[in-house]
């Protein structure tokens, strides 16, 4: 189920791949078995390559390409999709439920306590306090997860991920997510603006939200880089 207007698509979505033409794959691209009347060829829905039934037998959910039901994927792609399902099963719920942060806009010295959450269509960050503020994810240029030197229980927190420029991700080891700094362009403007979120030390919900947001940033980068 794909939105007619691409502007309404989830920012985490991936385009479907071009399938390798049947005439260009006489053999399985994994085990090199020759295709014939008995050994049929199958295309992996995620990568588009040709495989025999043995090498492309798993049917796994693939929400990033808007498939409603599980679809056939090769062994390598099925592992990736299964790992992503943790994000859709758990992290999305954390992000849409939201968490409370001390929020600073731009270079202002004033800060405000606000609840930050991901919109249900995954396209916006909503911030609600005495005022309402929102950031469109497609207009975010970089995320920086601020960390402190504690073990958070999640060991894959990335200290910095640039969605537009950086090809590399630096992993932090014994750290606790303490805040987030993001740069974005407001609608109708080409100037970068800054938003900073800080979590209280005892706010486990906020720390969990930051970890989930970082995982979301990884998927956003992959979607933009396709």
Q: Where are the domains of the chain?
A: 22-93, 98-148+176-225
| Per-residue pLDDT band at 175 (split at 50, 70, 90) | low
> What is the DSSP secondary structure assignment for residue 175, as one 8-state letter?
-
Per-residue model confidence as pLDDT tens digits over 17-47: 999 999 999 999 999 999 998 999 999 999 9
Per-residue model confidence as pLDDT tens digits over 1-24: 555 555 567 788 888 899 999 999
Determine the Cα–Cα distance for residues 142 and 138; give it in Å rounded to an integer.
11
Tokens for 167? 């090809």
Other C-beta atoms within 10 Å of 93: how many?
A: 11
Which pLDDT value is given to residue 131?
Answer: 87
CA angle at 206 for the pair 135 and 65, rounded to the nearest 5°: 55
What are the residue ranges of helices labelled H in the chain? 75-86, 92-97, 204-224
Fold of 22-93: Herpes Virus-1 (3.30.40)
Question: Does position 172 have pLDDT exceeding 60, yes or no?
Answer: no
What's this model's pTM, rounded to 2 decimal places?
0.73
| Per-residue pLDDT band at 59 (split at 50, 70, 90) | very high
Fold of 98-148+176-225: PH-domain like (2.30.29)
Max CA pair span of the chain: 72
Which pLDDT value is given to residue 102?
Answer: 92
Determine the Cα–Cα distance for residues 196 and 198; give it in Å rounded to an integer.
7
Per-residue model confidence as pLDDT tens digits over 143-152: 888 877 544 3
């Amino acid at each position: 189920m794909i939105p007619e207007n691409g502007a309404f698509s989830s920012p985490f979505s991936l385009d479907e791949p071009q399938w390798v033409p049947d005439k260009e794959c006489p053999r399985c691209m994994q085990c090199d078995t020759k295709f014939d009347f008995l050994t049929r060829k199958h295309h992996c829905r995620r990568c588009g390559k040709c495989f025999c039934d043995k090498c492309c037998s798993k049917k796994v959910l693939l929400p990033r390409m808007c498939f409603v039901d599980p679809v056939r994927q090769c062994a390598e792609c099925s592992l990736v999709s299964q790992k992503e399902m943790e994000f859709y099963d758990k992290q999305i719920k954390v992000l849409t439920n939201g968490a409370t942060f001390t929020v600073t806009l731009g270079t202002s010295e004033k800060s405000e306590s606000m609840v930050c959450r991901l919109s249900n269509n995954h396209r916006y960050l909503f911030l609600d306090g005495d005022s309402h503020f929102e950031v469109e994810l497609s207009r975010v240029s970089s995320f920086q997860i601020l960390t402190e030197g504690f073990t958070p229980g999640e060991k894959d927190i990335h200290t910095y991920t640039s969605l537009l420029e950086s090809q590399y991700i630096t992993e932090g080891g014994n750290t606790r997510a303490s805040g987030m700094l993001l740069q974005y362009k407001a609608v109708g403007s080409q100037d970068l603006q800054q938003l900073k979120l800080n979590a209280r030390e005892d706010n486990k919900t906020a720390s969990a939200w930051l970890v989930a947001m970082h995982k979301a940033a990884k998927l956003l980068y992959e979607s933009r880089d396709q």
